[in-house]
Amino acid sequence: MSHIGLFDPSAMTTNQSSWKHASTYISNTTSNSLTVPQLEPNIDEVHILTSVENYLWTYVSPVVILIGVFGNCLNIAVLKKMQFWRHTPLLLLAVLAVTDITVLLDGLLRYWIKYAFKLDIRTLSDASCKFNLYVIYFSMQYSSWILVCLIVDRFIKTNFPFLYMRLATIKKTCVIIIVIFTILSGINMHFFWTNGIKDEQCNDIKPEYLNFEKFVFVNLDFVVLSVLPFSIMLILNVFVYRALQQHHKFRSSSVVNSRNSRRTYTKRQFSQKLTRMLFFNSIYFLFSTFPISVYFIYDANNKFKDDLKNAKKHVAWSLLYLLQYSNYSINFLLYAACNKVFREKAKEIFGLKPKGCRYKNKRENNQRSSSISHRTTSINDSVNTLVSGTYDEHSDYSEYIQTNANEYVDQNPNTQTAV
C-alpha cells in the first residue's frame, strides 16, 4: 500500500466502522497506558517511604536512646566527681542531664516500642495517655529553659564578672530552677483534663479541646520550646562570643610568671572552656529544635489526602524528630570534645588514666611537697632564732627587774598617787 492510499476518501468511507473500532481500542489502550503507570510508581514510592519511616524508628532510635541515656548518666557521674552542688553552672548541667534522660525514656522510647513491637504505651490506659503527654512536653520545654539559664550564667560571667560573684549562688540557682519548673508545669497541666482515650486513641476528649490543641497550644509550645529560647540564646551567644574573643586576645598578649597567676589563669581557662562548651551546645540546640517546631505549625494548617504527600510528610517528620532527640543525646560528646577537665574526670571513672600520668603527678607532688617542706624548715629556723633572741632579751630584762625589785616597791603603802 502506497502512502497516498492512506488518505483516499473512498477507502476511508468504506472502512469507517473499522476505523471507529480501531480508534476506540487505541483510546482505551492509551488511557490505560497513562493511568496504570501513574498508579504503580505511586504505590511503590509510598511503600518505599513507609519502609524508610519504619527503619528510622526501629533501628536508628534505639541507638540514639542508648547513646543518650549512657552519656547523660556519665555526665551525672562526672559532675558528681566535680562536686556540682558547689558550682552553679555544674548544678544546671546536672539538672539538664536528668531532664534529657526523661525526654529520651518518655518520648523516643515510646516511638521505638510502637514501631518495633506495634504497641503504643500511650494508649494503654487513660492515665498513661495524660501522663505521657504531660511529661514529654514539659521535659522538652524544661530542657530548653535550663539551657537558657546556662547561657545567661555564662553571659553574666563573661560580661559582668563582679555582678556574677554576687548573683551566682547555689540558693538563687535552686530558686530559679523551681520557678521554671512551676511555670512550665502550669502551661502543660491542661493535658490531664483535655486528653484521654477516645476511639482507642489518645486524643482530645471534646471538639473545643481539639481546636485549642491545634490552634492555640501548638503555637504556644512553638514559642516556649523553641522561639523564645532560640531568641534569647542567639542574642546572648553573640555577647558571649565577643567576650571569648576579647579574652583570647588578652591571653595571647599577656605573660604569666608567678605561681598564683598561673593558678588563676588555669581557673579562668576552665571557665572559658566551659563557656565555649555551652556555646556550642546552645548552637546545636537551635539547629535541632527549630525545624521540628516549624513542621508542627505547618502540619497543623496543612492536611493532604494524597498518600504520596502524606508518606513524604511522615518521613520528614521522622527525620526532624530524630534530629531533635539527638539534641538530648550528644551532650556528653560535646562536653568531652570542648572540655579537657571533663575528659580527664571521665577517664578516672573508667580507670583509663595512664600510669605514667599518675607517676608524673605523684613526682610533681613530691617535688612540690619537698620544696614546701624545705621552705617551711628555713622559715621555722628564722622564726625560732628571732623568738629565741626576743626571749633572751625579755629574760634579761626580767632578771634585772627581780634584782632591783626593792627600788620599785613602795615603802609606804598608805600613800596615794596623784591623778
**pLDDT tens figures, 277-313:** 777 887 888 888 888 878 887 887 777 888 888 899 9
pTM higher than 0.75, yes or no? Answer: no
Is residue 330 in some structural domain? yes
> Amino acid identity of 135?
V
Which set of grid coordinates corresponds to residue 136?
514529654
256 compared with 234, residue with greater pLDDT: 234
Q: How far is CA 14 from the centre of its chain?
A: 84
Q: Are 8 and 273 in contact (CB under 8 A)?
A: no
Q: Is the pLDDT of residue 220 over 80?
A: yes
Q: For 18-31, what is each residue's pLDDT tens digit? A: 444 444 444 444 44
Is residue 374 in some structural domain? no
Q: Are 278 and 151 in contact (CB under 8 A)?
A: yes
Q: With bands split at pLDDT 50, 70 and 90, how would you rate the model's confidence at 366?
A: low
Q: Name, in order, each residue with C-beta under 8 angstroms of 103's C-beta and a sequence gap of 6 or more.
A: 136, 139, 140, 143, 325, 328
Is residue 236 in some structural domain? yes
Is residue 378 in some structural domain? no
Q: What is the model's pLDDT at position 213? A: 85
What CATH number does the domain containing 76 carry? 1.20.1070.10
Q: Is 365 exposed, middle or buried (0-12, 13-18, 19+ CB in 10 A)?
A: exposed
Rounded percentage of the chain residues whose pLDDT exceeds 90 = 38
Q: How far is CA 68 from the centre of its chain?
A: 11
Cα angle vertex 167, ends 161, 170, to 5°? Answer: 120
Is residue 379 in some structural domain? no
Alpha helices in 4-87, H assignment, sequence order: 9-14, 16-55, 61-81
Rounded distance, CA 202 to CA 186, Å?
A: 21
Rounded distance, CA 358 to CA 370, Å?
A: 18
Is residue 371 in some structural domain? no
Q: Are 318 and 56 in contact (CB under 8 A)?
A: yes
Number of domains in the chain: 1
Is residue 418 in some structural domain? no
Q: Is the pLDDT of residue 4 over 60?
A: no
Is residue 398 in some structural domain? no
Q: Are 343 and 81 in contact (CB under 8 A)?
A: no
**What are phi and psi for residue 371, nearest 5 degrees?**
-65, -40
Instruction: Tell me the residue range of the domain where 180 lies.
Output: 60-352
Q: For 381-405, what is each residue's pLDDT tens digit? A: 444 443 344 334 343 433 333 444 4
**What are phi and psi for residue 190, nearest 5 degrees?**
-65, -20
